[in-house]
Structure 1
Amino acid sequence: MAASKLSNEEKLLRLLYLGRLDAKYISGGSEKYESPSQDKTDFFNDLMKTSHTVLLKQIEAVNNDKLIPYRSQLFSLLAFAVCLPTTSNQIKPELCGAVLNLCKTDQDFFDFIKFVSLYRTICNKSKIPHTVAKHISKFYAQKSAQDLMKSFTTHKSYHKWSHKDLIKLGHVKADNAVKQVLINYILHKKVGEDADEEAKKCLELMKKSEELRSSKDPADALPIINELKATIHQVEPSLKKSADVWHAVLPNMHLSEVLHILPKLYKLGFLKKETPTLSRINEALNSSDTVRASGVHPIEVFIHMKNFEKGGKPLDPKLLDHLVKDRNLTEAEITKLKTPNETKCPTVMGYLQKCMNLSCSNVQPSNKRFLITIDVTEKMDTPCLRNKNITGIEAAAAFAWFLLRVEKDVIVAVFKDKDIHIVHLDKKGHLNEHVSKLKENKSKYLVLSSPIEWAMSQKKHIDVFINFIHHKDYYSAIPKEVKEKMSKPVDAMHRFRKKFNLTQAKLLNVCLSYPHMVTCDGSPNILDVAGLDAGVPKVMEAFYRGNFC
């Protein structure tokens, strides 16, 4: 069954999890690579004319799903629906009202505004729709004075839209005297003489947040950080070079943020032995309660661990070109920018390894039967799309490592020319040991359908096939006589399902270095994944659990 024959509900689920109608996930998020497709526009035009409630029901159904790779996608779809020229004025208030009900944080709402602005620009319309402006007013009307104060002190703006911008745009009016005092301060920095005690307390904290954003002296900033429980995003940029400031903000930051800034802390020299900052990092990464509360995925920890090991993420090629042209850099300076110095910090690497182990408890077993088959051709030693510090073989080994620890029934194999070869990996083994053992196997080419053919020949009941390969060029290496006899993965899956009556058996083809490879035909339960980012393990798990097809 092709994608065009999917129900509206199934199409919407693909858009929510994948950002597109075909069965493909590209790491980095759909908005990074492409504008809204004509297929998506046609689908939404029909949906808005006939059954817009289907959109609202599906988004509400997934609102609490932590496996959505990019939560902003919920608000992207609602913004797209609101901005379509064919969407009637009678429907728009209902769509905007749904946004208010779905928002869990200020960032959710600001994401919606960002996408409304983006789609209006694409349509060559500059003004925010009146209906959206009206619901901006409702968004702030829902906030108490305390909520408004916390919103302003935590984040002054998102996506270049500030609270001041939205309050002006929505012509927000307060429903009580305290909120009016706070709104006047946000808009005009005015403090009314008639402010009561509650308003004065809120204003004091708002002023302190402003002071923190401009203060360049750590001695002035530290008491405010402690009082506001501020994160590094709330301090003046020059203070990001202060060890005392980092020591103060780290306990207030989410574990994902802590993982992200580790290379920076290392370069600043704050992760040396017996430093207070190193102690903070230990508390964050090696506390089972903190790791569990964060919900961080072991593959996300792995990605950050490899970035830390390599001295940080490589410089963006476009930024590098800009620096070379504008700053007349020497060859030595260019080489230094291209190749960050690898970190020599075994203590933190040990913390990260333990954090990976702890984070496995954040993934609940699915009780599915897995066959993971890994490409071991030479090309697997080259970097992944979206994560240049990680090779294809390392990424595949990391997925095998965590699935062996989480799931009960996992078979790991490597592609061996036209067949596959089972590899026995220790469930409690170290990730580097898995990489080494996989590298002991060599193959000149691979046949993507061979894991499915093997399962049929061995009468193995498999619920989830996962293939990790490097590049689209795998096909050109296959000998002509093998090509003539081999099956397409889609055809092999149809035969496998029919033979064992496993109608919901799933196939995941993960191409780690190339975004445009297509192996599926759009039919349900077959998915292509391109590259590696923190969303990949989420979308894979959501797929094999049946959250979407």
Structure 2
Amino acid sequence: MSAQDETVAGLKQILITASNTGTCYGDHLARHLVDWFQFGEHQLYKKQQQQQQSDSSQHIPDTTLKTASPVDILLASTAVIPRLVEQGKADEILDTLRTYSQLPYVDKEVLEVLVLCLAVTAKQTEQKKLVTDAHSAVRELCTNTHLFFLFIQFSKMIAKKDGHCGWGRGLRRAVGSWYLSWEPHRLAVEVTRHASAHGWTHRDVIKLAHLKLKDMPIGTQVVLHYVFQGLGRTTEKYSGQDNSQDLLTLLQALDKDGHPQEGEKAWDVDEVISKVTKLHEKFGNLTLDDVPSQSLKSQELWSHLLDKLDSESLVASVNRLGRCHLLNPSTETLHPLQDQLVARLTQETVAAGPISPTQTLLSLHAYQHPARFIVDLAVKSGRGGARGAGRVLARKSSKVNPKVIEAMHTLIANSAKNIDKTKGKLGVCIDVRGSMATTHVWTGNPEGKGEVTCQEAAAVTALSLSSGGTNTAVSTLAFSESGLVNLTLGEGATLSQVINVFKETVIGGVNVNAALEWGKENGAETLVVLTHRLDHQAVAVASQALDQFNHEHNTQLRLVLCGLGTKRLNTPHIPGILLMLGFHHRTPTIIRAFHERYF
């Protein structure tokens, strides 16, 4: 592969894995950088305040981060973009961003990394056409407020490093085009569904972009006037003008508490029910963001809401309902709501939605093992304040509903069957030793482990890759005493059934050479090894075996090594090998994209 091809491949890898290394940890690169930047700015502001309030010239220690700044890390992680510009391949950058934004392997988390790449592209000032085209692509790639404000935040971070404010003509035009490109009714839903993100509000952005409402179409004027003045003044100004009544009626239904007036009453259940009914009738989809959070403790509201939520919001609502004690099996009067939730979770339309088996499994464990943080160990200071306060993980006692658990397991199986089948022979080789059942996956959380066992993670990954046992191009195998044995996953197999198949297998150690031999005999294009622990020696042995195998047989077999319970390994990029540590809801998706040669 030439240097230019490697550069393009590096950009594609970032857009699929959110990482520019050969190892995937499940880290959220874009979000970590924004949080880190905002933390650094807050620390700097506190230091400046201390200096202003200090009456002496005593030195105040610098509490800002001493390591590389988040902007430096941002630019380093996307260094492939300026390299493409240097190689004269600037046109491929936006083409790749547009193409990959449409792939099924790119979800909303990876879109944040795509927006990061778009912001870096828009700052390649030596390429004026590229910068102009990047700003023109903002509306196409930033498909919601969250991504749009993320682009603005990244632009600010990069510009600040160069001593600029970030609000040049190109960004102002991009902001104006973003708002103008929305159909007014859709824009009304967007500005009320997501009023703010990443420290920005629609009012901030519109003011800094110097948008003039009088130059805009009447529908856009109504919505943006509402952003600044609220529902009452907007209704007074535009009532009866140019058929704006329908839009005003929609805003009245959407209006939350963003512009509370003195004496205004809080939401009641009937108002919320009316709102969600109108939204569902007009647009056909509904998320939890459309519902005032303070009203989500009402059983009556949930009974109207469950049949209207999209699949992701429906699965997310299980844990919320559990926290509100609306699913307790001992509560006789609430059985109709429980039965309604169970019936909805088992509908084919839910399984056919964007929800994945891994997301459902993680939500199921969140429901089965509820946890919350409490502030404890607070030591009172001499001046009456609290210092030394820490966050301690405490378990809430909560009863789980067996019917809901069974419905979630059914959804895992049904949603796996709806995953598009991969092409090319794929072998999924699983470690079925007892340690897989007793160790937990690494999810990157501060407590060090998740509730999901490595055995469950391997089972749900096998289900996802095999499309619920329906894809004949995918073989599920187990490491046994005799090498590798085939595991039969029946069509529509449940998670429990797959785990039982694991338990019935005669166990054996992980043997990469045996997997490679199976790949040779069966014409496999990719092999996946799922185990609970990886170390440097295991990776080095596997790398050497793969190189030797491909050289001897003149093949391009690829290998995925998944250490489901492994935290960190400082391993350089190894051609032909994808190293995945820990478990993330995107783990099967990344493996499928690697197998399909998207990076």
Query: The TM-score by the shorter chain falls in which range?
Result: 0.7 to 0.9
Displacement of 1:95 after TM fit? 0.9
Say whether 1:226 aligns with 2:273. Answer: no
Pairs within 5 Å for 1:240-319: 240-271=296-327, 272=329, 275-292=335-352, 294-308=353-367, 310-312=368-370, 314-315=371-372
1:164 deviation in Å?
Answer: 1.9
The aligned residue for residue 140 of structure 2 is 101
Following superposition, the deviation at residue 37 of structure 1 comes to 6.0
Q: 2:227 aligns with which of 186, 205, 219?
A: 186
- Aligned position for 2:40: none
SS in 2 for 1:368: coil
Task: Note if contact 1:385-1:532 (Cα within 8 Å) is conserved in structure 2.
Answer: yes
Identify the residue that residue 506 of structure 1 maps to in structure 2. 558
CA distance in 2, matches of 1:221, 1:167: 29
Query: Superposition RMSD on alpha carbons, in Å?
Result: 3.5
Task: Assess, with a 3 A threshold, how the Cα gap between structure 1 residues 209 and 365 changes in structure 2: closer, same or farther.
Answer: closer
Deviation at 1:445, TM superposition (A): 5.8
Residue number among 364, 380, 398 corresponding to 2:460 in the alignment? 398
Alpha carbons 2:253, 2:274 under 8 Å: kept: no
For 1:364-403, what aligned pairs fall within 5 Å after superposition?
Answer: 364-377=420-433, 379-380=435-436, 381-386=438-443, 388-402=450-464, 403=466
Kindly indicate whether the alpha-carbon contact (under 8 Å) linking 1:145 and 1:179 is maintained by their aligned counterparts in 2. yes
Amino acid at match of 1:541: R
Residues 253/78 of structure 1: CA separation in 2 closer, same or farther (3 Å cut): same
**Deviation of the 1:450 alpha carbon:** 4.3
1:470-495 deviation digits (Å, cap 9, x = unpaired)? 233484xx8xxxxxxx9722232233
Given that 2:30 and 2:113 are in contact with CA atoms closer than 8 Å, whether structure 1 keeps it comes out as: no
Pair 1:416–1:145, CA change in 2 (3 A):
closer
Return the alpha-carbon distance in structure 1 between the equivalents of residues 363 and 238 of structure 2: 51
Counterpart amino acid of residue 281 in structure 1: L
**1:453 deviation in Å?**
4.6
The alpha-carbon distance between structure 1 residues 406 and 53, as it changes in their structure 2 partners (threshold 3 A), is same
Which stretches in structure 1 are left out of the alignment for 5+ residues?
479-485
**Closer/same/farther in 2, CA of residues 133 and 399 from structure 1, 3 Å limit:** same
Q: Per the alignment, do residues 366 and 185 of structure 1 end up closer, same or farther by CA in structure 2, a change over 3 Å counting?
A: closer
Looking at both structures, which has the greater relative contact order when contacts are Cα pairs under 8 Å and sequence separation is at least 6?
A: 1
1:438 equivalenced with 2:496 (yes/no): no
Aligned partner of 2:472 in structure 1 is: 408
Residue of structure 2 equivalent to 1:495: 548
Which deviations, in whole Å up to 9, do the C-alpha atoms of 1:284-327 show, x marking residues without a partner? Answer: 322212321x132223222222332x234x45xxx56xx22449
Contact 1:217-1:239 at 8 Å conserved across structures: yes
Q: Is the CA contact 1:520–1:527 (under 8 Å) kept in the aligned structure 2? A: no
Corresponding position of 1:481 = none
Query: Secondary structure of the residue that 1:388 maps to in structure 2?
Result: coil
Task: Tell whether the 8 Å contact from 1:401 to 1:427 is kept in structure 2 after alignment.
Answer: no
Change (3 A) 1:519 1:464: farther
Q: Which moved more, 1:9-18 or 1:261-270?
A: 261-270
Once residues 4 and 378 of structure 1 are traced to their aligned partners in structure 2, the CA distance between those partners, rounded to angstroms, is: 45
The answer on whether the counterparts of 1:392 and 1:469 sit within 8 Å (CA) in structure 2 is yes
**Aligned runs of 1:43-442 on 2, under 5 Å?**
43-49=80-86, 50-69=88-107, 70-83=110-123, 87-120=126-159, 125-173=164-212, 174-189=215-230, 190-191=233-234, 192-193=236-237, 195=239, 196=241, 198-211=243-256, 215-229=266-280, 231-271=287-327, 272=329, 275-292=335-352, 294-308=353-367, 310-312=368-370, 314-315=371-372, 323-326=375-378, 337-341=393-397, 343-377=399-433, 379-380=435-436, 381-386=438-443, 388-402=450-464, 403=466, 405-415=469-479, 420-422=483-485, 424-428=487-491, 429-439=493-503
Structure 1 178/392 Cα, relative in aligned 2: closer, same or farther at 3 Å? closer
Kindly state the Cα deviation for residue 136 of structure 1 after the two structures are TM-superposed.
0.2
**Contact map agreement 1:225 1:231 (CA 8 A) in 2:** no
1:442 deviates by 7.8
**Matching residue's letter, 1:286:** T
Shift of residue 55, structure 1, vs aligned partner: 0.6
What is the number of residues matched between the two proteins? 520
Provide the rounded CA distance (Å) in 1 between the counterparts of 2:341 and 2:27. Answer: 27
Structure 2 SS opposite 1:389 = coil
1: distance between equivalents of 2:199 and 2:346?
35
Residues 490 and 520 in structure 1, CA contact (< 8 A), matched pair in contact too:
no
Letter in 2 for 1:63: S
Give the counterpart letter for 1:76 in structure 2.
Answer: L
Change (3 A) 1:528 1:122: farther
CA 1:324 to 1:473, structure 2 compared with 1: closer, same or farther past 3 Å? farther
Query: Deviation per CA, 1:202-253, whole angstroms, max 9, x where unpaired?
Result: 2233233224667343234332332234643234332122122223333332
The alignment partner of 1:269 has SS state of: coil
Q: Deviations over 1:38-57 (max 9, x none)?
A: 65454333333433211111
State the identity as a percent: 17
User: CA–CA distance in 2 between the matches of 1:256 and 1:175?
Assistant: 35
Distance 1:157 1:432 in 2: 42
> Which whole-Å deviations, capped at 9, do the CAs of 1:511-548 have from their partners, x for residues lacking one?
2123433667432x421112222221211111111222
Q: What is the alpha-carbon distance in structure 2 between the residues aligned to residue 324 and residue 125 of structure 1?
A: 43
Q: Following the alignment from structure 2 to structure 1, what is the Cα–Cα distance between the partners of residues 291 and 378?
A: 30
Structure 2 unaligned regions, length at least 5? 34-69, 261-265, 281-285, 381-385, 444-448
**C-alpha spacing 1:349/1:188, structure 2 compared with 1 (3 Å):** same
Secondary structure of the residue aligned to 1:383 is: coil
Amino acid across the alignment from 2:565: S
TM-score, normalised to structure 2's length? Answer: 0.77
Cα separation, 1, equivalents of 2:519 and 2:13: 28
Distance 1:406 1:119 in 2: 47
Distance of 1:172 and 1:303 partners within structure 2: 43
Structure 2 letter corresponding to 1:282 = V
Whole-angstrom CA distance in 2 between matches of 1:338 and 1:169:
44
- SS of the residue 2:24 aligns to: strand
Q: Residue 250 of structure 1 contacts residue 258 of structure 1 at CA under 8 Å; is this kept in 2?
A: yes
Q: Which moved further from structure 2: 251-260 or 52-61?
A: 251-260
User: Shift of the alpha carbon at 1:270?
Assistant: 1.9
**Secondary structure in structure 1 of the residue aligned to 2:451:** strand
Contact between 2:478 and 2:505, CA under 8 Å: does it hold in 1?
yes
